[in-house]
Structure 1
Amino acid sequence: MCRTRRIKCDETKPTCNQCAKSRRQCPGYKDEFDLVFRNETQATERRAKKANKKAMSQKHKQEEKDGFRSPSEIGALRSPDGSLKSPTDAFLANLKIPLEQQATCHFMSNFVLVPRQGSTRGFLDFLIPLMKAETTDTHLKHAFNACALAHLDNRVHSGDDQVKDKALAEYTKALHSTNQALRDPEGQKQDGTLAAVLLLGLFEVCRQDALGTELISILRVEANITAKQMGMLAWGSHTEGAIQIVKQRGRKQLRTKTGLLLFIAVRTQMIIHTLSTGKAPIMGVEWWLADAVKDEEAARCQRLNIKTSELRAEVTRLMTSVARTPENIELMLDLIRRAQVVDQECVNWSKNLPEHWQYKTVAWEDNVPNGDYSKAEVFPGRVDVYTDFWIASVWNLVRVNRICLASVIVRCAAWACSPVDYRTTPEYATAARTVVDNTIDIIASVPYHLGWHLKRKDQLVAKNPSLSGFACGDDEDLSMKGLAGYFLTWPLACLVGQDYTTDSQRAWMIGRLEFIGDHGGVKYAHILAQLQVRIPSMLIRRDGLLASPYPMAHNFEKLLSARYGPPTAGYSMNPFQQREAMQKEYIEQKKQELMNKALAGGNQQTNWVASKWLSMSI
């Protein structure tokens, strides 16, 4: 108000004396989050960036024409396909400023999302006050530098070992100093320590490329690796460490703005970790939600996510520990009903959202260039846009939640109806429709995440003001944001492994994961693109083998490796041999039926040809 009136403000809080004397309502001061990395006005920012881009473009053309750059320098500005990189990457490659400063700005413009309105949340926005503090923890600085350098190297494709070496050196220092802080009873409760642990997990996501090739080769040899082991190989260990720190910090951490943001960030990571590994979340729903709500709609979503995690963990525990009795079958039917209730709550959540949470369909794509789904930006069908990256991620988390609930329901139905084929049950039919519908919804959100709407020049896609913006850089930059790819990895990986996903959908999703790994700098996406699982059929097979009264339930891995091993005590054949014998008998029966049908009414020569053809084909 004082700035508007062009008078000096005495900055008294909560109401300045100038407004009090003139009996005006003092609007207060901007939040410190809004003051970081922002120009005075958006108009000034746009004008400056446009002028800068134009000048840099002219400079690049002139220098290339004059042969000013060496071939290696020109190559650094191009993507692997030969096209020029985004203006942001080209700008960073040409600036003669310290590497660490380039990395900091790059990371802030790709991962730190700052809310512009009080009703929305950001991502990693707790880093701004922590990094601004004069007494920033050493381990937090090292962890931040490791993430920033790693992602800069991934995006710019510099090929410079110096950047990789610096990133790994910072990561090593961060691990060492963080471990020292965790040994200190007071140091382990500091905001900087928890933030450093979260960043260490993010580093693992960005730097999984080298590990990925080795890991995939191991997976192909060791077929019995578990989901828990997979999680521990990536960011799972850091996530579990962050959960333990939050537990130690107690409710006191919720009294500060930064403490609340850190708590919510860990809660989100905990949900994804428990859903992906099938482990029960520590503490209960109320412990994670009480006094820790920054956005009502998102909090209701996370309540449903935690309920689903608990249900899934309970089902897995029961499948491996209870005998198939009438009482336990009724217990499984009760779990089905509970899962259906949570699923209905998810549906109700989506129907009762405020307007700014709603998405809208802006286009319909019919063609796939060259028929190659793996290279297509958009899968045939609708394209949706959202008001915010973070809101889009919450929507997809709800959709993944419903897919997990469908898997729980089908597993319980298969256990209860065995040996009848579970695919004949009404629960399976309902689950299939649920998964197919939510798959379409997630696919429709992918182009928005990857910046497709920003490149449209036909004005079909309205440029709506976003409810949040990145802490640095130009929000209208056409290059893909690293955070958008990070948000997509878990939903796409979940869909790729579903039984109900079509071959064309799976090829397109794998292509998008590869794109995120190559161009988004989230290298963990390469690993997720190569995992070959099918849900829920693989889980149902495991449940059937583990459930009593099958033998050797205590050692699932050994049972898998005993495909041609000797039968167990009391059985003439082991379970795999029994299954194969039943399948062989079924095939022989069907073959005979088809041959009888084909031979009926034909002459001798026709019968001979039909008999030979069927015997070779079946």
Structure 2
Amino acid sequence: MVYCGKPSKGCGQCRSRKIRCDQARPACSQCVRAKRECPGYRDQLSLMFRDESKSVIRKAKAEGKETKRTSPPASSSVPLRSKQSPERIHRKASPEGNSAPTLAFEVGPDVPFDFANDPHFQYALSRISSLDSVPMEVQPAGMTQEDAICYFMQSNSFPGAFWMSDYMANFLKQSAGGPASVRALRASMGAVASAMLCRVRREVSLKEVARKSYGSALELLNSALANPEEAKSNQALGAVVLLAIYEIVVSRAPQDIALWTNHISGATALLELRGPDQLKNEAGLRLFLHLRYQIIISCMQRDARVPDYLLEGTMEILNLRPAEAHGNRLIMIIGRISNLRADIISGVLSDDQEIISQASAIEASLIAWLAALPPVFTYETHTRSRFDYGFENRCRGMTTLDDQYHVYPTLWSFNTWSQYRCARIIISEILLTHIRQMSDASSMRSLSEEFRQHCKTLRSNISRLALDICRSVPYALGAHRPEYDSTMPPPDSYIGGLVLLWPLYIAGTAENSYHPLRRWVVQCLRWVGYTYGLDQALALMDIVAADPGILHGGTDAEIEQSRITDEPVSGVSSSRAAVAIANSASAFNNMSPAARIESI
């Protein structure tokens, strides 16, 4: 198997006609204008490597026979690898038929398995440049687990990714042996990498490799957890993180999301076992930062309270990393939202007035957080040009909801904005739900006009936040960058799909089932699932499609208001509305039965 360089991304028609292809999807503009059927685009990863084993054997035998016939003197003998025929040097790509495509690229049978010419992998190589050069075992046919791990590392080749940290570079230098936690981490990485590449490349042989590696990782992890010292290691926690990602990759059915939740629960227990000392080293701190939001999402899904130690650790990080204070404060607020939801579901809080009061206080905290946001978080809203034919290609074929999209300074700021919008939608849902319950128990007419206006504002805010989430999707997919950007995951990275799952779920369940935004989110989740090989996106697609939506209730006027409003998300807190609700409800309850009927 040899590395063949970066192949042409154009469609078959444009390559055969030797013209520039804009790579639009589903058909390029050149084929559309010429009224030709566009044959589509080739799998770039499969074209980078070509199995030359049989060809090398055949040519070696042929050259051996030729050597016997000519019998040259020993002094003039030439090594076989230096003997090149025109057939080996020049190979033309064939756009037609089912034969395996080859490239017009000068190669020989001794070309090493090398990613150095791949611009997306150069950063990954630079992060582990301290590693000794160890030859990789290359098997003659199919993709191997080593190939899959290289793909996984390539997908994480951007600054800040834990898997590209110095810790992982040192880990990769270790031998194949070691403690059970180290072997569990290797097996977990092999499992998730093989499962991911199996889906992206449709490489069926890797499916069984992934399954066996997953089983081996579980056995090794259980063995490591039996040792109190190994259970506290970064390797053990890293293995659990990878197993959780594995479930995101392979969990297609909605009920299978519980498997991801189980691994996150295991990681939660390990974080508690590790205690505050885990924040004293860089690898432990990165793992904590990576897991805490995942744990909060899991708590929201299970209607459970966030563990106290998680919020306490976040408070400690506020002092350790003051530059990241805004992100940590937001996590604290989101933790309060999860705890409020858990108290409501468990019955600890049952009074609507008290629930609305607490939710209003959290909403006010979110508004204050937004008001204090530093300029480094400022994003730009771009309008897509109808002449930008390469836009969908940069989005890997995904279309946008409308002609606007957001561009953020960094991936971190994008994540922070997504977390804020999801939190604001959830707290608005809590407010609307219990406002409706109070209105059902009394009467909307008995409540103040200020309260009714605030209901409309909440609905408008939910719609606007959901729209902003959808407009952020192109950024995660790399639509804003015509050139490779080392500060972002590579275009083919699964990270782009992974960071979209929760925001798309929240945005999709905001609107009614007939709303265009809902239909677009369902389409987007389907696309993420098949393009990035993340089966959990397909499970979320089914859940979103069946959800009635936060805005399924209310009057027609309120629904229309939430659709047509073009005002920015309101910063008005619900605290005054909560007081109005309480006063109106109290007045209604003190009325006589006849007065109540008359007010209705």
Q: Structure 2 length as normaliser, TM-score?
A: 0.63
Counterpart-to-counterpart distance in 1, 2:275 and 2:291: 13
> What corresponds to 2:459 in structure 1?
432
CA contact (8 A) 1:407 1:535 kept: no
Relative to structure 1, the CA distance from residue 438 to residue 100 in structure 2 (aligned partners, 3 Å threshold; closer, same or farther) is: same
Relative distance call for 1:376 and 1:264 in structure 2 (3 A) is closer
Q: Name the structure 1 match of 2:534.
A: 522
Distance, in Å, in 2 between the alignment partners of 1:152 and 1:82 is 24
1:107 and 1:410 map into 2 onto residues whose CA distance is 43
Counterpart for residue 361 of structure 1: 381
1:453 aligned partner, one-letter code: H
Q: How does 1:55-134 map to 2 (within 5 A)?
A: 56-57=7-8, 83-85=40-42, 87-88=44-45, 90-91=47-48, 97=138, 99-111=144-156, 113-115=158-160, 125=165, 127-133=168-174
1:246, 1:263 within 8 Å by CA — same for their partners in 2?
A: yes
> Counterpart in 1 of 2:436?
414
Tell me if the contact between 1:53 and 1:87 (Cα under 8 Å) persists in the aligned partners. no
The aligned amino acid for 1:262 is L
The offset of 1:302, in angstroms, is 0.9
State percent identity of aligned pairs. 21
Structure 2 residues without counterparts, runs of 5 or longer: 17-37, 52-111, 114-137, 390-396, 555-600
Match of 1:235, SS state, is: helix
Residue number in structure 1 paired with 2:504: 492
Question: Does the CA-based 8 Å contact 1:480-1:519 persist in structure 2?
Answer: no
1:479-536, CA deviations, whole angstroms, 9 ceiling, x for partnerless residues? 4421010100111112222245762111111111011001112111011111112344
- CA separation in 2, counterparts of 1:173 and 1:205? 18
Q: Shift of the alpha carbon at 1:422?
A: 7.2
Instruction: Provide the alpha-carbon RMSD of the alignment.
Output: 3.6
Query: Distance between the aligned counterparts of 1:343 and 1:434, measured in 2?
Result: 12
Contact 1:143 / 1:199 at 8 angstroms: preserved in 2? yes
* Conserved? CA contact 1:298–1:394, under 8 Å: yes
Deviation string, structure 1 residues 48-93 (Cα, Å, up to 9, x no partner): xxx9746x449x99xx99xxxxxxxxxxxxxxx9533464553257
The counterpart of 2:331, out of the listed 295, 302, 321, is 302
Query: Partners of 1:236 and 1:521 in 2: how far apart?
Result: 19
Q: CA, structure 1 residues 180+538, in 2 after alignment: closer, same or farther (shift >3 Å)? A: farther
Q: CA deviation at 1:410?
A: 1.6
> What is the rounded CA distance, in whole Å, between the counterparts of 2:417 and 2:456 in structure 1?
24
1:465–1:141 Cα change, 3 Å: closer
Q: Distance in 1 between matches of 2:309 and 2:504?
A: 28
> In the alignment, which residue of structure 1 is the partner of 2:195?
150
**Alpha-carbon distance between aligned partners in 2 of 1:539 and 1:282, rounded to the nearest angstrom:** 33
Over 3 Å counting, the alpha-carbon distance change for 1:420 and 1:53 in structure 2 is farther
Q: TM-score, normalised by structure 1?
A: 0.61
1:391 aligns with 2:413: yes
- Structure 2: which amino acid aligns with 1:282? P
Say yes or no: does 1:278 pair with 2:300. no
Q: Cα distance 1:354–1:394, how it changes in 2: closer, same or farther (>3 A)?
A: same
Deviations 1:230-249 (A, max 9, x none): 642x3100001100110011
Alignment length (residue pairs): 419
CA distance in 2 between partners of 1:308 and 1:401 (Å): 8
1:179 paired with 2:222, answer: yes
Structure 2 SS opposite 1:103: helix
Q: Quote how far apart the aligned CAs of 1:538 are.
A: 8.9
Paired AA for residue 481 in structure 1: S
Distance 2:331 2:286 in 1: 15
- The one-letter amino acid paired with 2:218 is L
Q: What code does the residue aligned with 1:140 have?
A: L
Flag the 1:312–1:515 CA change in 2: closer, same or farther, 3 A. same
- Structure 1 residues 281, 132: CA separation in 2 closer, same or farther (over 3 Å shift)? farther
1:337-382 residue CA offsets vs partner (Å, 9 max, x unmatched): 3222322322333333333322111224789x9xxxxx86111142
User: Which consecutive unaligned segments of at least 5 residues does structure 1 have?
Assistant: 1-50, 66-80, 116-120, 216-228, 323-327, 370-374, 456-462, 541-618
Alignment of 1:195-234 (within 5 A): 195-209=238-252, 212=253, 231-232=257-258, 234=259
Residue pair 1:122, 1:390 contacting (<8 A) in 2 also: no
C-alpha contact (below 8 Å) 2:384/2:405 kept by paired residues? yes
